[in-house]
Structures are given as structure tokens and as C-alpha cells.
Amino acid sequence: MKLYFLILIVCVGLVNFAHAQTTLNGNTSSRILKGDEGLHVGGYAQIDFNKAISNDNIFNNSKLDVHRFVTFFGYNFNENTSFVAEVEFEHVVEVYVEQAFLSHKLNDQFNLNAGLMLIPMGIQNLYHEPPTFNGVERTNVDKYIVPTTWREIGVGVSGRLKSYSINYELMAINGFSGYSDGQGSFSGGSGLRGGRQKGAESYMTKLDFAARVNYYGEPGLSLGISAYIGGSESEEYNNLDLNNDFELASADSTIVGIEMLGIDARYNKGPLQLRGQYIVANISNTEQYNIKSNSDIGKQLSGYYAEVGYDLLSKKNTNEELIGFFRYENYDTHSDVDAVTFKNDTYNRTEMTFGLGWKVAKGAMLKFDYQILSNASETSNKSEKLNFGTAIWF
Amino acid sequence: MFYKLLTTTSILIAVVGSLSFKNIWDPAILDWKIIDSQVSKHLIQNNHDDYLVELIRYSDNGIFYYEVIENGIRKGFVVTAKAPSKYNNFDFFVILNLNFKIEYLEVIKYRENWGYEISNKKWLRQFSKLTDSMLGSKNQVQAISGATISVHSLCSYIDFILEDLKNI
């Protein structure tokens, strides 16, 4: 009897063990078939080599950098509730939380989200995994006009109108820190970038709002329109006596109003890839802000790019891709300035980038590109830059 | 001594084996009205109410295979599955005829805010009439910028199903 019982246990165990092994030892396809697991783990990384090419007798060292390594985690509590988090190591030594939010689905049309979220503006602030874009570095429109990776804490709703093939996202979040420790965070050259709070002990004077609508009704086509409205935050409002007109006026001169609008398009057809984007930001109260903080932020920031890519291996019998691409990009953080600010034409920058991306596997890419950089100033010389990169995503 | 060793080993194998066995996703949560209406449309020509959908097997990947029977005759198959997207899972079903050709594919529930473009019915139409698991090859399926993981995931599942159905 005892022996029969043991044999039974061994048989059950072996059957179960063999069953599990069948799944675990499968090929790539069967490994991705993970079934209903609560935890999803992934990540992406970008390792760069940059070399500025000098036209004169000045030598520049090359730069080599583990630009970013990000791990992401998604945990599903049940059918409708999940938590999403991304932890980023930037330049090896800097650690950030890039996203950390709870999402609860009420129905297809309505999800409730709360936590540290990406601001839905343009393409790359939402889709910035390195193998998803051409070129070693991200586009500079998505650095100096949209300060990617732009994320703040707040609440929002998102969902899909399936019949119309429309996805929407709407959120209320804290804004940029425009003035802290007696200093302004915005500048003429970098725009709003220095004011990102990134969810690290953020503070808020007033709520800001962001929205995006995306149309995906035609196969391969994605059209997006994004908007942001609000104002920067300022530490000068802490402990502010609202009856003190002088202090109130002083605090009012440390904030700016922000209205940003973006349109973008992506289209894939066989080996052909097209994408483009235009972003404009109108900044108000810059005159007072620039005087108070001794800064030079522009009254208007704008930028655009257009890019064409083609898979040169499309006719070959291989799953690898070799994408040749060309991109024209212009961004100007001084599109317009107030009366007290000198319009700096060196902030009106143009970049032509052409290069190759070799997708050696799904999610793994080796990149090369060459950039010709210029600006609108009369004394400007064109400069050139050579970039190599490793881009992965899993 | 022998029995102790055998008992310990057996229990260990049984426990490890049992732990390795995954929980199975339950397709009962799906909206079967949608599936039934598409089965009627694509597989049943005569009496729309006179057919059965019977489970014939499931895999621990969360894929459920059903056969569609009309008047005692097999008319085709329905397969339901849950596949991973970037942070979550999505549910889909596929209807196949007796030659294992895809008649219809629909993403019935997409949970997250990335990769939702794969639920576009126009995009899903390109899977119709596929029989061979060639989806892993590039250019077989239209790429979608921003939905790379979900496209790859769906293609991997369809590949798996098309191969697996041949064993039924």
C-alpha cells in the first residue's frame, strides 16, 4: 500500500514536472507565451559613443556612456487593476523613478490612473525605448521643446473609443518648478527642461492639465494631437502672506504660464517608415520672470522634424532589418522673446541626421549616424558629429 | 532508510512539479456573445442556433481550443487566448475553418495604454486566410510604431496556435 502511494506521488510529480519543462524549454515563441502571470518584467538600454568632428585645429575627446538602463515592472492585481513602474539608471550613477502609477480599468472607454506618469506630449516622451526610434540619440525637439522624459505626479483618465479607433488620455498633474532656492529653473537655451520635478518631493502651486488624442484607424498610421496647459510652480508661494501686496507681486514674478500644443504622425508601409512632429509652446509672464530670475527664457518655443526610413534588407530572406534613414530637424527655444530679452539666434538650431540601424533581433539594434549641426546666428559654423550606439529592449 | 529516502525524494518531486504547474486563465470571463456572433457569421450557414462549441483541449499557455459542431458535423475551430502586452495581458479569439485557415481574429479585451493599435479591426484583417505559421517573418504583418511588443506577442501566439492545431 505504502509503495503504491509512493509510486502515485512520484508519477504525479513527474507528470507535473515534465509538463512544466515542456513550456520552459520552448523556443522564443513559446517563452513569450507566458499565460496569466501577475508580474511582467522588462527593460531597455542605450549605450552610446559620440565624437564631435572638428573643422578647425581643435581636438575633442570622444564620449562613451551607458546613457540609460531602465528596468520596468508591471503587476496585475486582478483583471482590471495594475501597477506600472520604471526605474532608470542614467549615466550609470544617477537613479530615477521614471513611472510609478496605479491603473484601474472601469471599462474600455475609461481607465483611472494615479501616480507618477509620463506627460502625453509628442511621440518620444511616450515611446522612448531606443529600438523604437532611428538615430543613436533621441530627437532634440523631444529634449529642448518637450523635455523628455517628462513625468510628474497626478491623476488621469484614459481609454479607447473603439468604433472610432481613437485613444485618449487626460491628466491633472503638478507643473514645472520654475523658481526654487531663490533661483529660476528655466533658461533660454534649454527652455523648460530644468524645471522638471520628476516626482522627487515635488511641490505644487496650481494644477496643470495635459491631454492627448490618438487616431489609429488605418493600418500602419498613427496620428496624434497633444496639449498642455498650466503654469510653473514657485517656492515663493510657500508661507506667502496674501495680504502683503509686495510679497504677492514678487511671487507672481517667479512663475510663467505654459500652453503647449503638438501634432505628430507615424506611418509604416512594408519597408517604408515615415514620421514627423511639430510642437509649439507659448510662455506667458516671461518679462517679469526673466527680470526676477535674471534669465532669458523665450516667449515662444517651437520645433519640428520629418524623417524617412527604409529597410534595406526588405527583399532578403532574413528577419534582420537594416534601416537607412534621414531626418531634418529644427528647434528654436527663442522662437519669440519678450521686450527685455535679447533674441539669441544660436538657440535656433537645425540638425540633419542620416544613418543606419541594424536590427539584429527583435528588440536589439546597433546604430550609426552622422549629424550636421548648425544654428541661425551669423557667426555660426557648421559642426558635425559621429554617433554609434547599442539599443536594446526586452 | 530506503523508504525514507524514496518518500523525501517523491514528495520533493511532487511539490516542485505541482508548483511548476501554472494557474490556467479562465476564458469564461470573455464576452461569449461577441464570439458566438462571429462563429455564426463565419462558420455556420444554415440554422444559426443549431450548433455547439465544445472545449477540446487547452494548454498551460492559457490557450483554449474549441470545435464548432453543427448537426453533429465539425465545422471549424475557435481558439481563445490571453497574451502578454508591455505591462499587462490582452485577450483575443480566432476562428478557423476545417483547413485551419483563419476566418476571423479579434482582440476582445486590451487592458493597457500601450500597443492598443493591435485591436484595430482593419489591421487584424491581414491575418485572414493565413494557414502557415509564417508570421514571425518580417513583412508578413504590417508593423505598428508604438505597438512593437504587442504585435510580436500576437504573432507569436498565432504562430503557436497554427502549429498546435495540426496536432489535434
pLDDT score of A15: 44
Average pLDDT over residues A341-346: 96
Q: What is the pLDDT of residue B44?
A: 84
d(Cα B167, Cα A122) in Å, to the nearest integer?
A: 47
What does the pLDDT read at residue B138?
60
**How far apart are the C-alpha atoms of A29 and B133, rounded to whole Å?**
11
For residue range B132-147, what is the model confidence (pLDDT) as tens digits? Answer: 666 555 667 888 888 9
Among B152, B125, B140, CA closest to A314: B140
E strand intervals along chain B: 51-58, 63-70, 73-84, 89-97, 102-110
Here the cell at position B47 is 440554422
ipTM: 0.77
Chain centroid offset of residue A183 CA = 26
Mean pLDDT of A326-346: 97
Comparison of pLDDT for A97 and A3, the residue scoring more: A97
* CB-based contact, B8 to chain A, within 8 Å: no
Beta carbons of A74 and A84 less than 8 angstroms apart: yes
CA distance A243 to A248: 8
Spatial contact of A36 and B82, defined as CB atoms under 8 Å apart: yes
Residue A4 has pLDDT above 60, yes or no: no
pLDDT for position B31: 78
Average pLDDT, chain A: 89
* Mean predicted confidence (pLDDT) in B32-42: 86
Look at A179 and A39; give whichever has higher pLDDT. Answer: A179
> Domains of chain A by range and CATH?
39-393 (2.40.160.10)
Beta bridge mates, A267 = A221, A274
Lowest mean pLDDT among A16-30, A213-227, A283-297, B68-82: A16-30
Which pLDDT belongs to residue A38?
78
Interface probe, candidates B2, B10, B114, chain A, greatest A C-beta count within 10 A: B10
Residue type, B122: K
Mutate to test the interface with B, among A6, A28, A29 (most CBs of B within 10 A): A29
CA-based nearest distance A349→chain B, Å: 27
d(CA A171, CA A156): 4
pLDDT confidence of residue A256: 97
**Contact flag B87-A28 (C-beta cutoff 8 Å):** no
Q: Which domain holds residue B120?
A: 2-165
Quick one: pLDDT band at residue B37, thresholds 50, 70, 90?
confident
Query: Are A314 and B139 an interchain contact pair (Cβ–Cβ within 8 Å)?
Result: yes
The answer to whether A74 and A88 are in contact (CB under 8 A) is: no
Give the minimum alpha-carbon distance from A202 to chain B in angstroms, rounded to a whole number. 25
Shortest distance between the Cα of B78 and any Cα of chain A, in A, equals: 18
| Chain B contact set for A35 (CB, 8 A) | 22-25, 60-62, 82
Lowest mean pLDDT among A92-106, A126-140, B38-52: B38-52
Residue with cell 532634440: A140
Low-confidence winner among A16-20, A83-87, A97-101, B74-78 (lowest mean pLDDT): A16-20
pLDDT exceeds 90 at position B1:
no
CB within 8 Å of chain B, chain A residues 360-379: 362-363
Please state the rounded mean pLDDT for residues A269-281.
Answer: 96
Q: Which of B82, B27, B112, B46 is nearest to A72 (CA)?
A: B112
Do residues B81 and B63 make contact, with C-beta atoms less than 8 angstroms apart? yes
Calculate how close chain A gets to B168, using CA atoms only, in Å. Answer: 18
What is the pLDDT, as a whole number, of residue B46?
64
Nearest CA in chain A to B14: A13
Say which residue the cell 490582452 belongs to.
B90
**Is A247 a residue whose pLDDT tops 70?**
yes
What CA–CA distance (Å, rounded) separates A204 from A237? 9
CA-to-CA dists, residue A112 to A157, A216, A253, B111, angstroms = 5, 22, 35, 12
The better pLDDT of the pair A326, A107 is held by: A326
Confidence of residue B12 (pLDDT cuts 50, 70, 90): low
- Which one, of B91, B37, B94, lies nearest residue B66 by Cα? B94
Q: Is the pLDDT of residue A336 over 90?
A: yes
* Higher pLDDT, residue A236 or B18: A236
What pLDDT is stored for residue B137 in this prediction? 59
Count of H-run helices and E-run strands, chain A: 4, 19
pLDDT band at A332 (very low <50, low <70, confident <90, very high): very high
| CB atoms near residue B135 (< 10 Å) | 22
- Cα separation, A362 vs A313, in Å, equals 15
Single-letter code of the amino acid located at A90:
E
SS3 category, A13: helix
Could you report the per-residue pLDDT of A9-63, keeping only the tens digit for each?
A: 444 444 444 443 333 333 333 333 343 457 888 999 999 999 998 767 778 899 9
Which residues in chain A have their CB less than 8 angstroms from residue B11's CB? 9
Please provide residue A246's backbone torsions phi and psi, each rounded to the nearest 5 degrees. Answer: -65, -50
H runs (alpha helix) in chain A: 2-24, 28-32, 245-252, 286-293
State mean pLDDT over A92-105.
94
Average pLDDT on A195-205 reads: 95
Contact A177/B at CB under 8 A: no
* Exposed e or buried b per residue across B12-33, where buried means at least 16 C-beta atoms within 10 angstroms of its C-beta: ebbeebeebebeebebeebebe
- What pLDDT score does A136 carry? 97
Retrieve residue B95's grid coordinates: 476562428
Number of domains forming the structure of chain B = 1
Asked which of A12-21, A288-297, A375-384 is least confident by mean pLDDT, the reply is A12-21
Q: What's the pLDDT score for residue B139?
A: 61
| Contact (CB<8Å) A29/B159 | yes
- Contact at CB, B22 and A23, closer than 8 angstroms: yes
Q: What is the DSSP letter of A295?
A: -
Q: Tell the residue number behind the cell numbers 520635478, with chain if given.
A: A197
